[in-house]
């Protein structure tokens, strides 16, 4: 599986109010292999925010992303989407 | 049927929580002829996840994809979509 | 009608579980004049699948497509869409 | 009105089961000035099909299209759309 | 207001069954400054059709368009849309 | 704020039947800095029309737009959208 | 995190009627690192407007944006969206 790459992961996450989604996005973006992070607030419930975190990159490590997220006191509820490719294959429209 | 190619298969699959959809996507992507794999979580039900697995490639083997999926303890519920082409014919917009 | 061509046919079909939609798609794609086949599963009902079969090509023969479909034990319920052109005329966006 | 052209007509038509929409589409496409025909099945009601027929061309004759449709035993229920242009004017996006 | 141009007008119109929307579209298209006309049938009510007439051009005269429409026995119920520009300014996507 | 420009304003306006939206659109378009105006009729209520007025330009003056609108006997109910940019920055898709 | 950039922030804000969303948009656009601001009115409630403020730029400072917003008497209710990138990485369609 040397040439298999994880290009996108979308996570459903429960987080405390602090740090803000801006801080979480910045921390994940700082990981090696990450190109960009997109976080949407889905729901606010007293002291908990339910957010969707989308991570894009050349090759993503779920282990490291999870570490960053848990270090902020948040919990991954589920992996909602995964996109993997063989390096060097064509991009498909609407497929990434 | 020498020049007939299976370019895309979409499967409705029931899987245990482990391995994660990330691992399943990586394993299918490692098969010969596969370019990329896209998995969406549809529903979580106690210890079972219902997922949609979309596989793209130059020529896909359902036999091998099924083998990889079953080796993870998952079951294919149905083939929801198939796309086949004659090699060398033009691409149609919105048709792949 | 020498220069009239059937470019696309969409069929509503009832089929037994076997052969799979992958096999049906491959068999239709092997016909002369066919460029690609796109099959979507609409509904599973006990031992019958209701599928939508879209066929694209330079000039399609309904007679041959019907023969292949019936040889698999399936039945065409209706022709839901037909697209014909005069050869050499421009393509219209959203019209094929 | 020398330079006025009818580029598109969409018709709501009631037709008997035979001939099929494929035959109707081929017959209309064979008319002079027609580039392509797109027929969608809207509803099947016992021995009658309600279909939408879209005709594109450089300059369409409603008189001839109507003749072909009536010769197959079908009836035009209404003209749902007409698109006319002055020859030589620019194409507008989303306007044809 | 020398350099102000009316580029598009959309009208809500009530018309008798005859002349057909094809004839109305052709008559409006024949007016000076008109590039194309797009008519959609919205509703048929006994002897009256409710139609939406969209007119595009380099500079439209509401006065003349109204004259043509009324000469066919139809009535403009409302002006639903107007688009005006200063000549020579850039086109905006989704703004015309 | 020398290099800050107001590029788009969308207004919710109540206006008398006369002058028509065509006249209002033409009057606003004649203002300096305006490139185009797009008016949609939202609702007709006895002698009042509720319209949405979208104004695009290189640098818009709300003061002048309001003056023109009030001079026709209409009232701005609310500013529904504002889009401002720093001159010389890139355009974002779906952001203007 | 030297090469991590905040490219987009979307805020849910409660503001008094004055200053108008035009003034708020202009003030935020004047901040360093901001390219453009897009404000939509969501709801008017007596003397309070609920607005969505989207800010784009090369590198945004939440601290400064919050300062400008609070200086107008408005309050940020929630950060609804954050988008961060590593400088120099490719743009993804539909990802910004």
Q: Model confidence over D33-82: pLDDT tens digits?
A: 999 999 999 999 889 999 999 999 999 999 999 999 999 999 999 999 99
Check whether C96 has a pLDDT greater than 50.
Answer: no
pLDDT band, residue G36 (cuts 50/70/90): very high
pLDDT of residue F91: 63
pLDDT band, residue G93 (cuts 50/70/90): low
Which residues of chain C does B57 touch, with a Cβ-Cβ cutoff of 8 Å? none
Q: Model confidence over G65-92: pLDDT tens digits?
A: 999 999 999 999 999 999 999 987 766 6
Measured in whole angstroms, the distance separating CA F8 from the mean position of its chain's CA atoms is 8
Please answer yes or no on whether C25 and B89 come within 8 Å at the CB atom: no
Q: Above pLDDT 90, what percent of chain B?
A: 84
pLDDT of residue G21: 97
Residue identified by tokens 């990802």 is G95
Q: Name the minimum distance, in Å, from the CA of C62 to any CA of chain D.
A: 8
Check whether D2 has a pLDDT greater than 90.
Answer: no
Most B-contacting residue of C9, C31, C33, C38 (CB-CB within 10 A), to test interface: C38
Which residues of chain A does G76 touch, with a Cβ-Cβ cutoff of 8 Å? none
Rounded average pLDDT per 10-residue block, chain F, 96 residues: 92 96 97 95 94 96 97 96 88 54
pLDDT of residue G96: 46
Touch between chain F and chain G (3+ CB pairs, < 8 Å)?
A: yes
List the one residue out of B11, B33, B37, B10 whose CA is nearest residue B23: B37
Tell me the mean pLDDT in the region C18-45: 96
pLDDT band, residue E96 (cuts 50/70/90): very low
Please answer yes or no on whether A41 and G9 come within 8 Å at the CB atom: no
The SS3 assignment for C66 reads: helix
Domains of chain G are 4-86 (3.30.70.1340)
Q: Which residues of chain A have pLDDT under 50?
A: 96
Check whether E37 has a pLDDT greater than 90.
Answer: yes
Q: Which of C62, C83, C86 sits opposite D38 (nearest CB)?
A: C83
Check whether D87 has a pLDDT greater than 90.
Answer: no
Which residues of chain C does B89 touch, with a Cβ-Cβ cutoff of 8 Å? 35-36, 57
pLDDT of residue E86: 93
- Backbone angles phi and psi of E15, in degrees to 5: -135, 155
Contact E11, E53 (CB under 8 A): yes
Q: Which chains touch D (3 or more CB pairs under 8 A)?
A: C, E
Which residues of chain F does E78 touch, with a Cβ-Cβ cutoff of 8 Å? 41, 44
Tell me the mean pLDDT in the region B11-20: 96
Query: What's the burial of G19, exposed, middle or buried (CB within 10 Å: 0-12/13-18/19+)?
Result: middle
Q: Model confidence over E52-83: pLDDT tens digits?
A: 999 999 999 999 999 999 999 999 999 999 99
Chain E residue with CA closest to F24: the answer is: E82
Q: Model confidence over G11-24: pLDDT tens digits?
A: 999 999 999 999 99
pLDDT of residue B93: 53
Which residues of chain G does A21 touch, with a Cβ-Cβ cutoff of 8 Å? 79, 81-82
Q: Which of G1, G62, G84 sits opposite A37 (nearest CB)?
A: G84
Most G-contacting residue of F10, F82, F83, F86 (CB-CB within 10 A), to test interface: F82
Touch between chain D and chain G (3+ CB pairs, < 8 Å)?
A: no
Check whether G54 has a pLDDT greater than 70.
Answer: yes
Touch between chain C and chain A (3+ CB pairs, < 8 Å)?
A: no
Chain G residue with CA closest to A33: the answer is: G86
Tell me the mean pLDDT in the region B14-27: 96
Most B-contacting residue of A7, A84, A86, A90 (CB-CB within 10 A), to test interface: A84
pLDDT band, residue C94 (cuts 50/70/90): low
pLDDT of residue B46: 83
Contact G51, G39 (CB under 8 A): yes
List alpha helices for C1-96, DSSP H.
Answer: 21-29, 62-71
Q: Name the minimum distance, in Å, from the CA of B40 to any CA of chain C.
A: 18
Mean pLDDT, rounded, of chain C: 92
Q: Which of D62, D78, D89 sits opposite E41 (nearest CB)?
A: D78
Most E-contacting residue of F17, F34, F35 (CB-CB within 10 A), to test interface: F35
Distance between CA atoms of D18 and B7, rounded to whole angstroms? Answer: 36
Check whether B43 has a pLDDT greater than 70.
Answer: yes
pLDDT band, residue C46 (cuts 50/70/90): confident
Name residues whose C-beta falls within 8 Å of residue E95's C-beta, 6 or more positions apart in sequence: E83, F36, F38, F54, F56
How far CA D32 is from CA of A42, C20, C74, E5, in Å, comes to 57, 43, 38, 37
Which residues of chain F does G38 touch, with a Cβ-Cβ cutoff of 8 Å? 81-83, 95-96
Check whether C21 has a pLDDT greater than 70.
Answer: yes
Q: Name the minimum distance, in Å, from the CA of B46 to any CA of chain C.
A: 25
Please answer yes or no on whether G35 and F90 come within 8 Å at the CB atom: yes
Please answer yes or no on whether G4 and A30 come within 8 Å at the CB atom: yes
If one compares C57 and G94, the residue with the highest pLDDT of the two is: C57
């Amino acid at each position: 599986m040397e040439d298999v790459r994880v290009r996108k992961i979308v996570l459903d996450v429960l987080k405390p109010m602090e740090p803000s989604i801006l801080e979480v996005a910045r921390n994940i973006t700082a990981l090696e292999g990450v190109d960009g992070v997109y976080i949407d607030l889905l729901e606010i419930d007293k002291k908990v925010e339910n957010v969707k975190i989308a991570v894009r990159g050349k090759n993503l490590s779920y282990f490291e992303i999870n570490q960053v997220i848990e270090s902020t006191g948040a919990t991954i509820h589920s992996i909602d989407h995964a996109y993997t490719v063989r390096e060097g294959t064509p991009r498909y429209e609407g497929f990434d």
